[in-house]
Chain A
Amino acid sequence: MKKYFVIALLAVVALTTSCKGWLTEEPVMSQSTELTLSDYDGLNKAVGGAYTPLCDGTWYGAFYVLDAEMRAGNARIPANTEFTSGRMMVPYYMTYEPSATSGLWTYAYYLISCTNNVLDVIDNRINDLLTGSVTQQDIDNLKAEALALRALAHFDLLRLYGRTDGSNGEFGVCLITTPQLPTDMPARATVAQTFESIINDLTTAESLMAPGYVRGGVADTKATITPNVIKALLARVYLYNKNWQKAADYATAIINSNEYTLWTADEYTSVWGKEVAGKGGEVIFEVYGKQANAYDEYWEGPSHMTNPVGYADCAASSALTSLFDAGDVRGTTGVRGKDDGNVMFATDAAQASNTLWTMKYMGKGEGNATTTPDVNNVIVLRLSEMYLIRAEAILNGASVAGATALSDINAIRANRNAAALTSASKQDVAKERILELNFEGHLWFDLDRTGSTLSYADGTVTRELDANSKFWALPIPKSQIDLNENLKQNPGYGV
């Protein structure tokens, strides 16, 4: 009897020791994270995929930009139109609360995790990657792209959920620079730490990326991170951080790069809605819109939201459209369908209302309002902004040989059929930013970073925000506060 038990026992031991391999079945069709991140090709694709959250509706896919315009008063829900979808009630009526706020938090951190997965491998397993014809520079380019995307995500989070005017300095955003576990409960960094991390990522990226690097295989070379994108983003970040000299220097680097030219007054009304941004022109970085993108907002993209026969939620306010001097090409008005490509604001085709709509998102012509919505590229950085950054920096004490605030503003105005100014104050720069950059998502954040107040009335809403209003920092989604015990809500929104 005993010997059978011994044999059985031995058999069991033998089976147990050999079972580790037996019980491991790895996915072979979908790609495991491990496999994806095991070589240069996989990492390259992982960086390419990391752009996709930018197309989400909470970000450049529509509402990061349009909601900001709505809050700042450049945009309004039209009063006398038959239909609006109701998608922009919260920013218009400023009814933000933790359960009704921007969902950027989720998508920005998704992008950040995409980049951290890549950076983690590059930092820790570099030797596995340098095989075949892959060079250190190839890896550095990927790393630079990932760092710049991570910086952009942290920066956009900070602008939305934090304050950049120097108040509430303890409420920066969570700085995520390593791959996280679901159980990790990060706390918010200070605003200063957030800026430091963003600038650190961008300057590292700048030093790593080869001059002239452009991601291969893309449709629109202006929709990827290039050395100039990093510099332009640094100019903007330094401006927000009030490092005036560096803001001016980086803006100058772009202006003097000879790769971009200011659109002329003739060009200005027809440059929007192009499939790809061509060489020259103003576009430094844009987010590429296409239905084939993994993320596409379809009916909720900016083309449909700003289309009077689309969802028709986001019209231009008269406060904005009345700002333009006669002749300024940026304030030209017409009729949608008739004056497309010739004006910057248009009423609906039937002219049923006097409401004007921006034509910056008139679409690429790949759809129509009733069957398939159109798509649009959303410009993030362009040359005019660089002139305006430099002008503002100079007025705040920066100095650049051969440049003045007045000459920078007038360089733009000269190309817009607008009369040259004779002097340039900070207020002039601020106004010029509205005239030039309206509906591109700037005004709200400009008001915040400069500690301004907002006073706005359009007949339906009256908005008076002082510089200390809680709304300058939008609430973090309640679910995220509930899930992370270390995450503190912005002041004024309850616990």
Chain B
Amino acid sequence: MKKTRFVLTCLLLAVSSVLFAQNIQVRGTVTDASTGEPVPFAAVQIQGTTTGTATDANGVYTITAPSKATLVFSSMGYQTQSVAIEGRAVVNCILAVDSEFLDDVIVVGYGTTRREAKTGAVATVSSEEIAQVPATSVDKMLAGKMAGVTISSEYGQPGSNSQIRIRGTSSINAGNEPLWVVDGIPVMSGDQGYFTNSTNAIGAINPNDIESLTVLKDAAAASIYGSRAANGVILVTTKSGKAGKASFSARAKYGVTTIANDNNFSVMNAQELYDFYSAAATNAGKTIGDYYSPSVLDGPMTDWFHDLFRVGKMQEYEINAQAGTDKSKFYSSLSYSDTEGVAYATHYKRLTGRINSDYKLTSNLEIGTRVNLAYTENRDTEMQSLYYSNPFFAGLSIRPWTPMKDENGEWNVNIPENSNTNPMFVALAHGEDQWEKQFRTQAAMFLQWEPVKNLVIKTNNMFETTFGQGVRYWGPDPGDTEGVLQGSRSQYLQLTTSNTVTYTMDFDDHNIRLLAGQEAMRRTYEGMYGYAPTVDAKIPYFSTSIASESQIEDWFNARTMLSFFGNVDYNYANKYFVSASIREDGSSLFGAKNKWGTFWSAAASWNISNEEFLSDSKWLSLLKLRASYGVNGNNNISAYQSYAVYSSAAYNGANGMMPTRPSNETLSWEKNKTWNIGLDFAFLNNRISGQVDVYDRLTTDMLLDKQVPATSGFTSNFMNIGSMRNRGVEFQLEGDVIRTRDFNWTLGFNMAINRSKVLDLGDDEWMASSYDSRLRHVVGREFYSFYLRDYYGVDPTNGEALWRATDPEHPDDDSYYLLTNDFSKSRYIYAGSPEAKLTGGFNTSISYKGLSLSAFFEFKTGNYVYVGEMRYLNADGNQMTMNQVSSAANYWKEPGDTGVNPKPIAGNATNSYNISSTRWMQKGDYLRIKDVTISYNLPEKLLKSINMKGIRLYVSALNPYTFHDVYWWDPERGEEGMGFGIYPQTKSYAGGIEISF
């Protein structure tokens, strides 16, 4: 901080140089030690005076100075250097990069701080770490990069949303996603689509536009965001122009996406299936002839498992330019990306354009704009769950002897086992259409004024919109001429003003920073939905619909917030740091009596390595202890929950109204109380660095439906009653194994352990999850517990399924049980959780001159997934019309067989395949090679001769291989570990070129 101010002072005083006796004119060039490039706007000061100047855009300066004086050269990010003039007229200076300084500043809530001064738990990712991965949105690139930040997704479909959990899941009815803050303003995130499986608002930001990303994990870091901070905060800072030479670069990337299958997942071929059905028929006392003729094996076979998927192409093009002087800077970019999914109907396109500009109006007044425009287009079909058009289920269940095309070469739609639905017909021929086109705008402008030294007043204002347009069209069935059209139009508008005053004060060894601020936000969501059951298939638009059959609906809701906040940071001699923050949030979402809430945090840290007794230590670079406690909130609920509402109630042929929700004037935030203790360390001149954090995150006042006396007219009321806890440890380690001029090797590792526990659910001991009733929230257990029938295995004596039943002598002890073949007697147990016990990642990067290789691994362990699709695909003969997975062929054949599937029985009604049994639970552990990139920067000498700044070539792979044991394409099934017919994660390979001038 001192250094920065010093530079500023120099700049301010540069114009007022004072003449000395025996002065001479000195000029020279300041260059960067590592690149040889000129350093623009470096301060040049005559030692011991306040006289100075600055270099121009080409690093050249001129100064009049005493011939015996010494010049002090300094610039942000470089080590300060002194050079004696010794009577010379030309004094050049080479500035060495200040390696500590490079990553010294991190973005935190409403400002920046030096990494050294942070008191809370934060994690950062730089643009280099995210830019190369062949994923289309920044959230996808973060997986495994930071301890305690897990990214998962139920949909591997391009353009889909992610589930981001920072330090576990903390809420049942309010949201669990973090708050995204882009360039200082909280923005909208999540799925804003209407018909498509998933859309991702954050995907509208071009990842290459991101300069840095900070995740605020604990209350000390996040509480300044008050009622929206409970799930953590992700701060995104986009690129600004840099002072110095203008540059222009262009990137192109081309790649392919394929379905992943690293665990030999497969379905039966025709012969295997025929044999399986035969055995099933025999076991049912029938013969295969009762079901199939052997002639099914004669014809040509179709490999539905492969033929429903393709190699998707992806391409991405971008140009960007940036330039800057001491007064103005700009960065702008334009990008286009186009990604085909592995399923034929899936497609994602994105166009983005950004302009970031900064301008110094006067020496103490600065303005800046951040404008991002995006167009996104998501396409898919109805392929969630068990829709027959879902290739991820149809590809498994359609029998091999069912042809893809009929004798006329048309798509075959005579597929009784799949309700006569051919996913290829739906995707390519039926004219079915399902898409969401979104137009996104984020436009912000800030004004920053420093009326007196060290006092900065800033106002930052943004308007953000999403205009979405969606269509779902079902083409006519063969022979029919009319289709069904549904359409949507939706608009989000969010207005935010954020105003802060910051004052910094340094005297002796005391450093104080005071921040006070105010923020206001209003968000509206409105839209319209149209339905026309009969439109002309040749002109599938609403204009050909029959008015009397069509329907229209619309909606509107609004929410507002008003906030006041303040923050104090104090440190003494860079050894003792204290910070505290407080925020008052008022929200329209909550009851009249609880509109306002107070959120706060207090934190301290002690930089032990700066104590005198350690300052001489050669091996210790940093040792810092941090502790924090704070309270923040979760207001992520739908609007108007505090209002009593009537809804329409038809009776006796007339429309009446009846009350559907009581008013709740005390409805309030969920509160998150977090303490965090952390240790930052670095050894051997920062070559090894890392941090350890321990936290306890208590959610109280959870929003739950509380049972109330029915005499009130309602049986439950949405109230703040429950509580739960997340506890964990996070560990992050980075090391420069080899650090030389030409050869570098770095290693990084992070891991996190999180344990959730439900403490109180009001009157209830458990609640079924709103996601799926097979998942429960149970007091005393993890946030999610699978609640399932207790499957034991195959009965070696008769080949039937064996179930555990409650032992009446020990009804409360799960370790005692009776075995039964009777499904109806089987007991329910809490069978495990989809939450991972340990998550993390590690990375390594090796570079030699211009060539570099980096690899990134992600892992998760201790979680269970529920592969419920097996109820149909491994159905022990219950399904005699569907194809079965290959593993189903491993069934009981003779007494004594164990560890296999129960014997198949045609028309099986024993419930051995029941949809709610532990039989379909699998361990979800995996180790994923998340991304691998090899890149080559052409040598500068070569480039100089052709007048270019850089050419970079790279090839990169996303998810090239995953080690796992889940019998499915991919082990991931979202936070809930369930899903049904889910779009698995896919593999992508891309190559690209990046040229800059």
Contacts and interface: CB of A to CB of B under 8 A. Distances in A.
A216 B644 CA distance: 27
Contacts of A217: 653-654
Nearest to A222: B652
A42 B656 CA distance: 9
Given A4-B451, A110-B713, A487-B709, A23 B652 contact: no
Interface string B629-642: 00000000001100
A27 B643 contact: yes
Interface residues of A, number: 71
Contacts of A32: 643-646
A402 B560 CA distance: 73
Nearest to B595: A23
A444 B656 CA distance: 33
A288 B649 contact: no
Given A32-B644, A32-B645, A294-B651, A484 B709 contact: yes
A60 to B, nearest CB: 12
B594 to A, nearest CB: 11
B556 A218 contact: no
Nearest to A19: B562
Contact of B518 (A4, A15, A183, A220): A15
B657 A483 contact: no
A171 B643 CA distance: 35
B524 to A, nearest CB: 9
A290 B653 contact: yes
Given A34-B644, A52-B649, A184 B562 contact: no
B949 to A, nearest CB: 45
A12 to B, nearest CB: 7
Contacts of A11: 518
B516 A8 contact: yes
Contacts of B763: 482-483
Interface size bracket, B side: 35 or more
B651 A51 contact: yes
Contact of B556 (A22, A29, A42): A29
A218 B656 CA distance: 11
Interface stretch (B43-51, B658-666, B911-919): B658-666
B617 to A, nearest CB: 42
Given A32-B644, A186-B711, A290-B653, A25 B588 contact: yes
B558 interface: yes
B443 interface: no
B656 A48 contact: yes
A2 B837 CA distance: 54
Nearest to A107: B710
Interface string B654-694: 11111110110000000000000000000000000000000
Interface in A281-309: 288, 290, 292-295
A146 interface: no
A223 B640 CA distance: 35
B388 interface: no
Interface in B448-504: 451-452, 455, 457, 501
A33 B644 contact: yes
Interface in B92-117: none
A77 interface: no
A288 B658 contact: no
B518 A12 contact: yes
A354 interface: no
Interface in A152-176: 174, 176
Contacts of A52: 649-651, 656, 658
A286 to B, nearest CB: 10
Interface stretch (A111-119, A263-271, A451-459): A111-119
Given A26-B643, A33-B646, A223-B652, A110 B657 contact: no
Interface in A347-393: none
B73 interface: no
A106 B715 contact: yes
B500 to A, nearest CB: 10
Given A24-B588, A42-B657, A49-B651, A29 B646 contact: no
Contacts of A106: 710, 715
Given A27-B557, A33-B646, A36-B646, A105 B653 contact: no
B711 A484 contact: yes
B257 interface: no
Contacts of A8: 501, 516
A207 interface: no
A22 B650 CA distance: 36
Contact of B653 (A116, A176, A218): A218
B711 A176 contact: yes
A46 interface: yes
Contact of A45 (B653, B657, B708, B713): B657
B655 A45 contact: yes
Interface string B531-569: 000000000000000000000001111111110100000
Contacts of A293: 650-652
Given A114-B713, A180-B712, A294-B658, A25 B651 contact: no
Nearest to A115: B713
B644 A218 contact: no
A182 interface: yes
Nearest to A33: B644
B707 interface: yes
B815 interface: no
A405 B659 CA distance: 46
A179 B663 CA distance: 12
A51 B653 CA distance: 12
Contact of A181 (B588, B650, B712): B712
Contacts of A216: 654
Interface string A200-240: 00000000000000011111100110000000000000000
Given A46-B656, A47-B656, A109-B711, A25 B558 contact: yes
A15 B709 CA distance: 41
Interface in B869-888: none
A174 B556 CA distance: 40
Interface string B583-597: 000111000000100
Contact of A292 (B554, B650, B707): B650
Contact of A184 (B554, B595, B711): B711
22 contacts: A4-B457, A22-B588, A25-B559, A25-B639, A27-B557, A27-B640, A29-B554, A29-B555, A45-B655, A49-B646, A52-B649, A52-B656, A52-B658, A109-B712, A109-B713, A113-B713, A113-B714, A185-B709, A186-B711, A219-B653, A220-B652, A223-B652
Interface of B: 451-452, 455, 457, 501, 516, 518, 520, 522, 554-562, 564, 586-588, 595, 639-640, 643-660, 662-663, 706-715, 717, 763
The 10 residue pairs across chains A and B that have the minimum distance between CB atoms: A113-B713, A219-B653, A49-B656, A48-B656, A33-B644, A49-B658, A294-B649, A182-B708, A25-B588, A49-B649
Given A182-B708, A293-B650, 14 more contacts: A8-B516, A15-B562, A22-B588, A23-B586, A33-B643, A33-B646, A45-B656, A48-B657, A49-B651, A49-B658, A51-B651, A110-B714, A293-B652, A294-B649
